[in-house]
Chains A and B, each alone.
Chain A
Amino acid sequence: MTPFEYLRAGDPGEAVAAVAGRPGAAFLGGGTNLVDHMKLGVAGPDLLVDVSRLPLDRVEETAGGLRVGAAVRNSDLAAHPLVRERYPVLARALLSGASGQLRNVATTAGNLLQRTRCPYFQDVTTPCNKRVPGSGCSAIGGYTRYHAILGASEHCVATHPSDMAVAMAALDAVVVVLGPGGERRLPIGELYRLPGDAPQRDTVLEHGDLITAVELPHLPAARRSAYRKVRDRASFSFALVSVAAVLDLDGDAVRDVRLALGGVAHKPWRAARAEEALRGGPATEDAFRRAADAELAGARPLPGNEFKVAMTRGVVVAALRDLAEEGR
């Protein structure tokens, strides 16, 4: 771990200025991802600006929606009565992530910005374009069980590991960012990048940009929503694949649907094609399957993760079917 200075920011503006003014600086939230990476040598900031104690730790009601402060802990967010009532998919997604100890420390912003769990990324002795642009992608031709089937490139096949982000993607969350130039809002779908030829950039954020809040829009249909995560053991593992689903039925027809997939891409994957195929159609297993297939038509599995296509189909169908049954 390279030596670093530690600064506790007093307010968001100070934090932004401190990081923006120093190329080697980084924001520190809960630290469960960044501190780990510093020990592994994956990250080496020379200044940590601790933003975990900024007054960004509230969950507030907005017009039918919620505004979640960036410093709200994952465990608190999952337990919040309004989250559980209005966006159960989000509560379930949070609870399916990590362990109790980690959820107690991890912040909303930190969770969004956590980096891939690709073992080659985390090992400084194996080539990785995300870590060292141009050095190669060790996952391609290697161990790909946790890697992408959608939206990948020849430079990087990593997946985004956050469950919370998948749920937020399904909910059309908006991320509030404070940068050196002021505040702006980003739909979560625009926060994340696909790897393309610059896999070292997970998001569109610039150095010094600080996430201050996430806004969840008014979405009554989200009261019937679910998160389903498929993993190699019953708990405490990253997703093989996952799905966040919101299903709004009008009798037996799909009035509206939101679907986001985890474990399949460099970002939470909003399954827009599947949604389109479902909207206005019947809420049957057949329709669910066809919609999943429509989304997976563009899948490019790797040797070692071909199973993710069938698994994604299976979990999408299961999640929608269960939601539809709930609704009857």
Chain B
Amino acid sequence: MRVGFTVNGREETADDVWEGESLLYVLRERMGLPGSKNACEQGECGSCTVLLDGVPVCSCLVAAGQAEGRRVRTVEGLAEGDRQAPIQEAFVECGAVQCGFCTPGLLVQAHDLIERVPRPSDADIREALAGNLCRCTGYEKILAAVRLAANRRAENP
């Protein structure tokens, strides 16, 4: 089938997409957007997190047909032009990136959190990010980065 949706603000279509392909696969292998990662393909790790109609989802479990006509935003689309999103800047500043494989999914999930919740508590952050597994960092710097980005976001709404 042909599937068409908006990705990072641009209309994209893909032809000969099989119904069983996941949104993650379509983004990575057909649309040249390999930023979102496949680490478990079961929705158990969050590495494939993208925004679907503004809401974070595990794209590995979204069948291609379900994405038809909708708005998708990936890690590649978090930046506004040349300017990184607050969460991206904060991750680099705080040293929250190690191997980087969980990073794209975390950025999307954390970006959504600080957009929705003005000053999330540490417990809020931990719970919101509980679906994003990281094996490297021990999470501490990720938490620091989210706090920093949230504070900056709250100061610049």
Please measure, in the bound complex, the distance between the C-alpha atom of A101 and the C-alpha atom of B65, giving whole angstroms: 19
Which of A28, A35, A99 is close to B46, meaning CB atoms less than 8 Å apart? A99
Docked-complex contact A236 and B131, CB < 8 angstroms: yes
In the bound complex, residues from chain A placing their C-beta under 8 Å from that of B22 are: 35
The answer, yes or no, to whether A277 is at the interface (CB within 8 Å) is: no
In the bound complex, residues from chain A placing their C-beta under 8 Å from that of B63 are: 6, 28, 31, 35, 48
Docked-complex contact B66 and A101, CB < 8 angstroms: no
- Nearest-neighbour CB distance to chain B for A86, whole angstroms, equals 23
Name the CB-closest residue of A to B108.
Answer: A101
Name the CB-closest residue of A to B49.
Answer: A101
In the bound complex, residues from chain B placing their C-beta under 8 Å from that of A101 are: 43, 46, 49, 56-58, 109, 131
In chain A, residues 97-129, which have Cβ atoms closer than 8 Å to a Cβ of chain B? 98-102, 104-105
Name the CB-closest residue of A to B19.
Answer: A6
Docked-complex contact B66 and A31, CB < 8 angstroms: yes
Docked-complex contact B18 and A32, CB < 8 angstroms: no
In the bound complex, residues from chain A placing their C-beta under 8 Å from that of B131 are: 98-102, 236
The answer, yes or no, to whether A36 is at the interface (CB within 8 Å) is: yes
- Nearest-neighbour CB distance to chain B for A69, whole angstroms, equals 17
The answer, yes or no, to whether B154 is at the interface (CB within 8 Å) is: no
Docked-complex contact A105 and B65, CB < 8 angstroms: no
The answer, yes or no, to whether B137 is at the interface (CB within 8 Å) is: no
The answer, yes or no, to whether A80 is at the interface (CB within 8 Å) is: no
Which of B52, B65, B66, B130 is close to A99, meaning CB atoms less than 8 Å apart? B130
- Nearest-neighbour CB distance to chain B for A174, whole angstroms, equals 29
In chain A, residues 56-97, which have Cβ atoms closer than 8 Å to a Cβ of chain B? 75
Given the known interface contacts A3-B19, A101-B49, A101-B56, the answer about A28 and B109 at a Cβ–Cβ threshold of 8 Å is no
Q: Which of A1, A35, A48, A99 has the most CB of B within 10 A?
A: A99
Docked-complex contact A52 and B43, CB < 8 angstroms: no
Please measure, in the bound complex, the distance between the C-alpha atom of A48 and the C-alpha atom of B41, giving whole angstroms: 20
In the bound complex, residues from chain B placing their C-beta under 8 Å from that of A287 are: none
- Nearest-neighbour CB distance to chain A for B117, whole angstroms, equals 11
The answer, yes or no, to whether B127 is at the interface (CB within 8 Å) is: yes
